Amino acid sequence: MGTPYPNPISPTRTRVGWIGIGVMGAAMATRLLSACYSVTVYARTPSKAQPLQFLGAQLADSPFHLAQLCDVVFTMVGHPQDVRSNVLHPETGILSGISPNSVTVDMTSSHPALAREIFTAARAKNCWSVDAPVSGGDIGAREGKLAILAGGDASVVEWLAPLFDILGKATYVGPAGSGQSCKIANQIVVGGNLLGLSEGLVFAEQAGLDVRQFMEAVRGGAAGSMVMELFGERMIGRDFRPGGFAEYMVKDLGMGVDVVEESEDERVVVLPGAALCKQLYSGMVANGDGKLGTQGLITAIERLNGK
Which residues carry out catalysis?
183
Pairing of strands 134-135, 38-42: unpaired
CB 85 within 8 A of CB 51: no
**Cα separation, 260 vs 226, whole angstroms:** 31
